[in-house]
């Protein structure tokens, strides 16, 4: 019966039973929302993150809610997209800006990447020609450069520009799977050097990213395999499942983009996080859970000292909304 339910969730067009409407406020909710800490806004006010959730809890969340003991399962895993799912913004752009600051290449090159990212923001979809062009340009930048140099710069850029850009709710979801004894993998088009740093800092199992060929510690300017984008991610997850002995009927996937529908459709428990319009529509059609962490509300005015205490205590309030 469990296998039938898992298969039903994977089949496109299969609608699940609509949940009843209810709003439940959790203060210090133990589970996937526990990391939603208050933040100081640009106006100096304290803001509370507000999470909107549509759909039924995933199996792991149901167990947490009922207090059922979680048994580690080496055949279960969670796959996380990075850009706008785990971190705010595009990791490749943050990496490019950082490399420019470190004189790795010019700010004009970064401007080209910004333009391509802006087109994606407006259209909601990446052009494959832009993806291919960006790939070739990126490889031309690293050709002849030492791998160690890029790895060291990736670590520095993470600390400078990325460490404080995580969506707290998504970060908590990853930790939820780690605490449950499951593997957690990043699956991203960003260079694997940066993806590995992110995974290592979060204590994840590992990362699948775009791989530039290297010989004798130097980049050749060629790519190993294809860029991890769209169907490329699904193929990479299938191969990882084969080599690691993972059971996709027990696995989860999280993404913000309709480009990742192939990966999301591959697992039993797909979740749309901060979804674009097309992914939100697909998630509703298929009965997938939707989590949106992009809104914040102003909290009651308190002094900076009180703010620090509140943040340290982790006393954020997450609003759990299920819409029928």
DSSP letters spanning 115-155: HHHHHHHHHSS--HHHHHHHHHHHHHHHTT-BHHHHHHHHH
Active site annotation includes 81: yes
User: Which residue has 């796959």 as its token pair?
Assistant: 79
Q: Tell me the three state secondary structure of residue 243.
A: helix
Q: Tell me the three state secondary structure of residue 93.
A: helix
Q: CA 286 to CA 268: how far, in whole Å?
A: 12
Active site annotation includes 83: yes
Strands, DSSP E only, in the chain?
A: 22-27, 39-40, 46-54, 77-80, 183-191, 206-215, 218-224, 252-255, 269-273, 289-298, 317-322
Q: CA 48 to CA 144: how far, in whole Å?
A: 47
Q: CA 287 to CA 17: how far, in whole Å?
A: 7
Q: Tell me the three state secondary structure of residue 310.
A: helix
Name the active-site residue from 83, 256, 260, 292.
83
Name the active-site residue from 2, 73, 81, 247.
81
Catalytic residues, which ones? Answer: 81, 83
């Amino acid at each position: 019966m469990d296998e039938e339910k898992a298969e039903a969730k994977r089949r496109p067009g299969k609608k699940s039973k609509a949940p009843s409407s209810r709003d439940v406020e959790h203060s210090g909710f133990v589970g996937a929302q526990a990391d939603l800490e208050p933040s100081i806004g640009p106006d100096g006010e304290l803001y509370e993150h507000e999470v909107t959730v549509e759909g039924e809890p995933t199996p792991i969340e149901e167990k947490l809610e009922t207090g059922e003991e979680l048994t580690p399962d080496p055949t279960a895993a969670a796959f996380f997209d990075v850009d706008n799912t785990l971190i705010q913004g595009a990791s490749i752009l943050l990496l490019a800006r950082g490399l420019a600051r470190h004189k790795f290449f010019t700010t004009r090159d970064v401007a080209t990447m910004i333009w391509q990212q802006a087109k994606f923001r407006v259209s909601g979809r990446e052009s494959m020609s832009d993806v291919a062009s960006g790939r070739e340009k990126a490889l031309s930048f690293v050709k002849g450069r030492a791998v160690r140099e890029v790895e060291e710069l990736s670590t520095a850029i993470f600390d400078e520009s990325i460490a404080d850009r995580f969506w707290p709710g998504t970060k908590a979801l990853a930790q939820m799977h780690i605490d449950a004894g499951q593997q957690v993998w990043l699956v991203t088009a960003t260079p694997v050097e940066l993806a590995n740093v992110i995974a290592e800092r979060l204590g994840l199992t590992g990362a699948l990213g775009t791989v530039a060929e290297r010989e004798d510690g130097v980049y050749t300017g060629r790519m190993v395999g294809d860029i991890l984008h769209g169907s490329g991610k699904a193929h990479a997850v299938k191969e990882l499942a084969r080599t690691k002995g993972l059971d996709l009927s027990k696995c989860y996937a999280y993404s913000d983009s309709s480009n990742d529908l192939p990966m999301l459709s591959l697992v039993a428990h797909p979740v749309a996080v901060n979804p674009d319009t097309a992914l939100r529509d697909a998630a509703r059609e298929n009965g997938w859970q939707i989590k949106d962490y992009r809104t914040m509300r102003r909290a009651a005015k308190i002094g900076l000292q009180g703010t620090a205490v509140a943040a340290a205590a982790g006393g954020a309030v997450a609003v759990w909304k299920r819409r029928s």
